[in-house]
Homo-oligomer: A and B are copies of this chain.
Amino acid sequence: MTTSFPMNDGNSAYSYYNNSQRQKELIDASKDMVRDAIIGKLDVEVMLSSSHTFRIIELGCSIGPNTFHAMQHVVDVVKEKYHNIILEFQVFFSDHVENDFNTLFRSLPIDRSYYASGVPGSFHGRLFPSRSIHFAHSSCAIHWLSKIPKELLDEKSPTWNKGLIHYGTSNIDVVNAYIAQFEKDMEIFFNARAEEIVPGGMMVFISPFSSYTRLVEFFGSSLMDLVNEGKLDESLVDSFNLPMYFPSPQDMTKVVEKNGCFSIEKMELAYPKSKLVDEIDAKTFIINLRAVLEGLLINHFGSKIAEEVCARTLFKSEEISTWMKANGGKSCQLFVALKRK
């Protein structure tokens, strides 16, 4: 273990970001030397040979520790299968640029058996060089849409999602707008991954399924409680919609087949036992959802309303417990394994 000496962070008055002019001068002054070294000395042809690095990406890694858990599992299984080949592993943790990579990096397991990288950017677009990835994994992430379907923002249309924040109990126009956005997003997603993943490489998704549409609506009903008490304007709730679509096997089959670059190796709905559901621990469940939804609530309603809504939803834990008890069996997930043709 060596000690670390970080520069001043952030971008305030005394940050390195705003105070590194001299270091820039050193780089500028060396530009020609760097250039000469590359032009005169580098021979790219001899270098681009194959390696024994197995590259794994986690799309929508968020912060951890789940992502470390998932990645170590993939590494362990590949090692188990190819124990006779000396492989090295490189894992790319990828998420939006606003993800808290600092916390992710600071909590990386010390005993990991892979080289770790962070890759900022949306998976609705290219993130990696062509044919550089052998295995892609994504858990609880592909249900995030790139944006709210634009039809939901038209107050005069049947897709104005009055009194609701998601599509679960909405009319068919709203549901179709969500499906259309999901299909558009997945087309972009698959086109990007088709470039990045080597032929024979694989991709697995784990996605929550439809029971979540009801659970997030408990937050919606807390918002409507505030409307009914005159503390919040209803149009603000009507114009708030969660950018998530939980695909069915049929939805997923359709987008994979439309793209055409991947074969479906496995697709199934699973009904994993949930410790949270078994113990009807609605409080933990709601706090889990708060960690996911709070940023969206703050963006749309401000911190004060967001805090109030989260607190009020927690008060509903008994009602939520009852619902979970009755519907626990329906709490399920979609598992998909694809292979690059």
Contacts and interface: CB of A to CB of B under 8 A. Distances in A.
A243 B272 CA distance: 52
A124 interface: yes
Interface stretch (A24-32, A217-225, A226-234): A24-32
B70 A27 contact: yes
Contact of A8 (B81, B273, B291): B291
A85 interface: yes
A250 interface: no
Interface string A4-34: 1111111100111111111111111111011
Contact of A120 (B3, B116, B131, B268): B116
A41 B53 CA distance: 19
A147 to B, nearest CB: 5
Contacts of A175: none
A321 interface: no
A90 B272 CA distance: 39
Interface in A180-219: 198-202, 204, 206, 208
A255 interface: no
A7 B63 contact: yes
B6 A98 contact: yes
Contact of A25 (B99, B107, B276): B276
A295 B204 contact: no
Contacts of A85: 44
**Residue of A53, A90, A126, A291 most packed against chain B (CB within 10 A):** A291
A168 B199 CA distance: 57
Nearest to A15: B291
A188 B285 CA distance: 47
Nearest to A206: B30
Categorize the interface residue count of chain A: 35 or more
Interface string A45-57: 0111111111000
A163 interface: no
Given A8-B295, A26-B206, A130-B88, A266 B66 contact: no
A137 B292 contact: no
Contacts of A319: none
A135 B6 CA distance: 24
B37 A204 contact: yes
27 contacts: A3-B147, A3-B243, A5-B243, A5-B296, A6-B99, A9-B63, A10-B100, A10-B103, A16-B62, A17-B64, A23-B139, A26-B272, A27-B70, A29-B333, A30-B139, A30-B206, A33-B270, A33-B335, A34-B137, A38-B78, A41-B337, A43-B200, A48-B54, A51-B129, A51-B131, A115-B127, A117-B117
Q: Which 9 pairs across A and B sit closest by C-beta, in order of nearness?
A: A29-B272, A9-B100, A4-B96, A2-B146, A105-B120, A19-B291, A37-B337, A53-B129, A88-B129
Interface of A: 2-11, 14-31, 33-44, 46-54, 62-66, 69-70, 73-74, 77-78, 80-82, 85, 87-90, 92, 95-103, 105-108, 115-122, 124-132, 134-135, 137, 139-140, 144, 146-147, 198-202, 204, 206, 208, 243, 265-266, 268, 270, 272-276, 284-285, 287-288, 290-292, 294-296, 310, 333, 335, 337, 339
